């Protein structure tokens, strides 16, 4: 029998787990190279927002404690980039489910976690590109980082960690929903609700108390406030809830908790994900 | 004889819908089992369970000697799966698709590369090897899909409706490739809605519907279940019908049936050549003009209708396929027309 030439497949281990992940990341990066429009789509909206908010709104909106509106708003736009990752991952994962590719991967003697880990890792590259695009656009409208390298870098790490959490949320969404139109709808809704019910674009002073509490603890608010503080664009609020006063402290904890929950839940759902 | 796939009492519920209600099956190593059933019969559910993608609610099964629930990794190392839809990556080229799977199966960089080239050649995809798969035709995708399932040279191959939606020519090519695998000792479990396909490829056939096994046997056994062979006589004009009926009644074991519109008489004969010659002589004696004189056996379509009380959805497509395979399936191809 011809099977003897290859025999059975080598057993998996940590080493092979890493090489499987690398191979699958390679697959996604090829996708990115061949469909650059995906990166452009993810980058274009926030870049346009920087332009609109930085130029048009700058003349009418001013936030107390900041010199320029774009100083205030950039943290929020970066958080938007992270939020839009939900749709990116969801569409990718659901497409692989629909085409049966995930079935094929699951029928291989490969660690369960590999497929989603490589999916989210590769999509993180897309978000990193978008972050670079938004940074350049921000610099163009006059936004500057006023702190040293370390806090500046920490700000970007927070943005990418937020993006990573949203990619896992997206993976989960993609497995549960599957239908591309439905996914587009839900991820647009996530984007609108989470970004407008936050302090991304303006401080939350006018809201009723309960709504204000929700908005203050919204990860978008926490992460964008942390970035503003880390980059020296706007100080944290002097009074208010813990989330408002100590965003830099709270953001890493919040993000770690989100990733810590979303990752295992997604992997669990993956285990039983079925193609119809 | 080695048993490559064995399942007993496989059951699966989706909500309150019993998709599979206790399926037993057994496939001897190196043979082909055709799982035949209409849409929604439970074919895909069965395959996904055996390929470790879905855990059964009840029952148990072994594939290549390993339990599909407790020894999934061992099972996965020995199976190849081509699902109902060609599971290929449209953005990658054909070669990249195969190399990726080779890497994931730990053939090593060189091993993956040479295996990909080998399979591309065998599946006649060399010309398109460097093109993105989204430019492939349906038949090419299917071939690449089958090639993908064969990367690790599995000893058990699952094919879920491998030719659904293919044109007759591509179907022929795929059939040949499956036969090639069987020739090399691979055990195949194949699902299909095409009776023709089961008849052509399978050593044994399991007819399932609504999650239950309706019948099991070789294609011949199943056909025999429906009835014996019969003689069919077609006449040039209707005037001779009565004379021919009277003549045939004398040599028949049961009274002949007649379809006046098409001027055809069907009659059950005693076994052996003697009965056929007697029938021929009796007709000759009446002097009526005979345009068709042939022994018919029930087709799998008849079997299916007999078992489920339903026509197959794919009746038309199946007959297209049989036209394409006219040399081997001459008789049935004519029947279907
Ligand atoms: N994931 C699922 N959720 C709910 N019902 C399902 C699911 N998969 C299959 N079914 C149902 O189970 C039955 C058997 O399906 P399937 O095995 O796909 O049949 P076949 O492959 O023979 O067409 C069908 O009635 C189908 O609607
Ligand atoms: Mg099916």
Which positions 95-114 of A are in contact with B (Cβ < 8 Å)?
Answer: 99-101, 103-110
Name the residue range of residue B234's domain. Answer: 228-296
Residue B275, in any domain of the structure: yes
Residue A9 has pLDDT above 50, yes or no: no
Report the pLDDT value the prediction gives residue A196, as an integer from 0 to 100: 86
Protein residue with its CA nearest to atom 16 in ligand 1 = B42
Report the pLDDT value the prediction gives residue A240, as an integer from 0 to 100: 76
Tell me the CA distances in angstroms from B288 to A64, A194, B149, B281, B291, one per residue in order.
Answer: 109, 87, 58, 12, 10
CATH label of the domain that carries residue B262 = 3.30.70.100
d(CA A217, CA B240): 94
Mean pLDDT is lowest, of A16-30, A54-68, A230-244, for A54-68
Tell me, yes or no, whether B159 and B215 share the same domain.
yes
Report the pLDDT value the prediction gives residue B80, as an integer from 0 to 100: 94
Q: Quick one: pLDDT band at residue A8, thresholds 50, 70, 90?
A: very low
Eight-class DSSP state of A233: S
Tell me, yes or no, whether B272 and B167 share the same domain.
no
Protein residue with its CA nearest to atom 5 in ligand 1 = B14
Tell me, yes or no, whether B206 and B254 share the same domain.
no
Mean pLDDT of A51-68: 75
DSSP string, A74-142: HHHHHHHHHHTHHHHHHHHHHHHHHTTHHHHHHTSS--TTHHHHHHHHHHHHHHHHHHHHHHHHHHHHT
Q: Quick one: pLDDT band at residue A274, thresholds 50, 70, 90?
A: low
Closest-approaching ligand to the CA atom of B46: 1
- What atom in ligand 1 is closest to the CA of residue B41? 22
CATH label of the domain that carries residue B321 = 3.40.50.300
Local mean pLDDT, 10-residue blocks, chain B (337 residues):
92 92 95 93 94 93 96 93 89 96 92 96 94 94 94 94 87 91 95 89 93 91 76 87 87 83 85 82 87 81 73 46 34 36
Report the pLDDT value the prediction gives residue A2, as an integer from 0 to 100: 37
Give the other-Cβ count within 10 Å of B205's Cβ. 25
Eight-class DSSP state of A9: P
- What atom in ligand 1 is closest to the CA of residue B47? 17
Tell me, yes or no, whether B214 and B251 share the same domain.
no
The better pLDDT of the pair A225, B314 is held by: A225
Which residue, B211, B214, B168, B161, is CA-closest to B326? B168
Helix axes A69-83, A114-141, angle to 10 degrees: 160
User: Considering the entire predicted model, what is its pTM?
Assistant: 0.80
Tell me, yes or no, whether B64 and B168 share the same domain.
yes
The torsion region of residue B210 among left (phi > 0), alpha (psi -120 to 50) and beta comes to: left
Report the pLDDT value the prediction gives residue B149, as an integer from 0 to 100: 94
Burial B301-316 (b: 16+ CB within 10 A, else e): bbbbbbbbeeebebee
Rounded to the nearest angstrom, the distance between the alpha carbon of B170 and the centre of ligand 2 is 20
Tell me, yes or no, whether B216 and B234 share the same domain.
no
Residue A24 has pLDDT above 90, yes or no: yes
Tell me the CA distances in angstroms from B165 to B80, B86, B90, B162, B236, one per residue in order.
Answer: 21, 11, 18, 9, 39
Q: How many domains would you assign to chain B? A: 2
Q: How close A56 comes to chain B (CA, Å)?
A: 40
Tell me, yes or no, whether B182 and B274 share the same domain.
no
Nearest CA in chain B to A31: B91
- Residue B247, classed as helix, strand or coil, is helix
Q: How close B89 comes to chain A (CA, Å)?
A: 7
User: Dihedral sign, CA of B203, B207, B213, B216?
Assistant: negative
Mean pLDDT of A90-106: 91
Query: Does the distance separating the beta carbons of B48 and A9 come in below 8 Å?
Result: no
Report the pLDDT value the prediction gives residue B310, as an integer from 0 to 100: 65
CA atoms within 13 A on the CB side of A41: 9
CB < 8 Å to A274, chain B: 48, 53-54
Which positions 149-188 of B are in contact with A (Cβ < 8 Å)?
Answer: 149, 152-155, 184-186
Residue B267, in any domain of the structure: yes
Residue A199 has pLDDT above 80, yes or no: yes
CB < 8 Å to A24, chain B: 100, 104
Give the burial class of A235: count Cβ atoms within 10 A of its Cβ; 0-12 exposed, 13-18 middle, 19 or more buried.
Answer: exposed
Tell me, yes or no, whether B180 and B200 share the same domain.
yes
Tell me, yes or no, whether B233 and B217 share the same domain.
no
* Strand partners of residue B10: B23
Tell me, yes or no, whether B185 and B285 share the same domain.
no
Residue B33, in any domain of the structure: yes
Q: Quick one: pLDDT band at residue A131, thresholds 50, 70, 90?
A: very high
Residues with beta carbon inside 6 Å of ligand 1?
A 274, 276; B 14, 17, 19, 37, 39-45
Q: Judging by DSSP bridges, how do beta strands B257-259 and B230-235 pair with one another?
A: unpaired
Residue B183, in any domain of the structure: yes
DSSP strands (E only) in chain A: none
Is B88 in CB contact (< 8 Å) with chain A?
yes
Report the pLDDT value the prediction gives residue A276, as an integer from 0 to 100: 44
CB < 8 Å to B186, chain A: 1, 3
Contacts of residue B23, defined as CB under 8 A and 6 or more positions apart, other chains included, come to B7, B9, B10, B11, B42, B46, B59, B208, B211, B212, B213
- Contact status, residue A195 vs residue A79, Cβ threshold 8 Å: yes
Rounded to the nearest angstrom, the distance between the alpha carbon of A27 and the centre of ligand 2 is 28
Report the pLDDT value the prediction gives residue B334, as an integer from 0 to 100: 36
d(CA A239, CA A221): 15
Tell me, yes or no, whether B7 and B72 share the same domain.
yes
Rounded to the nearest angstrom, the distance between the alpha carbon of B33 and the centre of ligand 1 is 20
- Contact status, residue A201 vs residue A53, Cβ threshold 8 Å: yes
- What atom in ligand 1 is closest to the CA of residue B208? 22
Tell me, yes or no, whether B330 and B283 share the same domain.
no
């Amino acid at each position: 029998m011809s099977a003897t030439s290859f025999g059975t497949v080598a057993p998996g281990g940590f080493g092979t787990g890493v090489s499987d992940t690398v191979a699958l990341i390679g697959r996604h990066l090829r996708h990115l190279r061949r469909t650059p429009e995906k990166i452009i789509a993810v980058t274009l909206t926030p870049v346009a927002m920087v332009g609109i908010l930085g130029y048009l709104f700058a003349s009418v909106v001013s936030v107390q404690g900041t010199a320029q509106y774009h100083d205030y708003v950039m943290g929020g736009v970066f958080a938007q980039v992270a939020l839009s990752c939900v749709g990116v991952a969801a569409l990718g994962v659901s497409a692989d489910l629909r085409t049966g590719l995930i079935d094929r991967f699951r029928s291989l003697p490969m660690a369960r976690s590999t497929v989603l880990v490589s999916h989210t890792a590769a999509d993180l590259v897309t978000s990193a590109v978008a972050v670079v695009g938004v940074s350049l656009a921000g610099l163009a409208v006059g936004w500057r980082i006023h702190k040293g390298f370390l806090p500046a870098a920490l700000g970007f790490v927070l943005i990418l960690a937020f993006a990573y959490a949203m990619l896992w949320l997206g993976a989960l969404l993609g497995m549960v929903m599957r239908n591309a139109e439905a996914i587009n709808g839900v991820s647009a809704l996530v984007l609108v609700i989470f970004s407008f019910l936050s302090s991304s674009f303006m401080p939350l002073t006018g809201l009723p108390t309960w709504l204000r509490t929700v908005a203050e603890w919204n990860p978008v608010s926490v992460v964008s406030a942390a970035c503003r503080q880390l980059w020296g664009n706007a100080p944290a609020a002097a009074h208010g809830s813990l989330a408002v006063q100590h965003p830099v402290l709270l953001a890493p904890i919040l993000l770690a908790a989100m990733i810590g929950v979303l990752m295992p839940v997604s992997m669990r759902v993956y285990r039983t994900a079925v193609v119809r | 004889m080695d048993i490559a796939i064995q399942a007993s009492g496989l059951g699966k519920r989706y909500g309150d819908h019993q998709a599979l209600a206790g399926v037993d099956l057994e496939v001897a190593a190196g043979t082909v089992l055709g799982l035949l059933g209409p849409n929604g019969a439970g074919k895909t559910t069965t395959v996904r369970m055996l390929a470790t993608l879905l855990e059964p609610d009840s029952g148990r099964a072994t594939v290549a000697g390993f339990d599909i629930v407790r020894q999934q990794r061992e099972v996965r190392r020995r199976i190849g799966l081509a699902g109902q839809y060609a599971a290929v990556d449209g953005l990658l080229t054909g070669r990249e698709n195969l190399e990726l799977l080779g890497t994931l199966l730990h053939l090593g960089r060189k091993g993956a590369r040479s295996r990909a080239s080998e399979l591309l050649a065998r599946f006649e995809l060399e010309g398109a090897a460097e093109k993105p798969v989204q430019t492939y035709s349906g038949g090419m995708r299917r071939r690449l899909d089958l090639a993908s399932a064969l990367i690790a040279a599995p000893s058990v191959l699952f094919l879920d409706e491998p030719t659904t939606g293919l044109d007759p020519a591509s179907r022929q090519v795929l059939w040949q490739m499956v036969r090639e695998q069987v020739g090399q000792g691979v055990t195949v479990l194949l699902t299909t809605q095409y009776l023709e396909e089961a008849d052509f490829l399978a050593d044994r056939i399991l007819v399932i519907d609504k999650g239950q096994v309706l019948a099991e046997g070789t294609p011949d056994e199943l056909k025999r279940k429906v009835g014996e062979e019969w003689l069919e006589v077609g006449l040039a004009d209707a005037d001779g019908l009565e004379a021919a009926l009277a003549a045939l009644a004398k040599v028949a074991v049961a009274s002949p049936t007649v379809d006046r519109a098409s001027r055809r008489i069907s009659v059950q004969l005693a076994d052996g050549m003697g009965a056929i010659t007697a029938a021929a002589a009796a007709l000759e004696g009446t002097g009526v003009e005979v345009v068709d004189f042939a022994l018919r056996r029930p087709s799998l379509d008849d079997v299916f209708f007999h078992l489920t009380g339903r026509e197959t959805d794919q009746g038309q497509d199946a007959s297209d396929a049989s036209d394409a395979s006219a040399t081997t399936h001459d008789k049935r191809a004519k029947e279907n027309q």
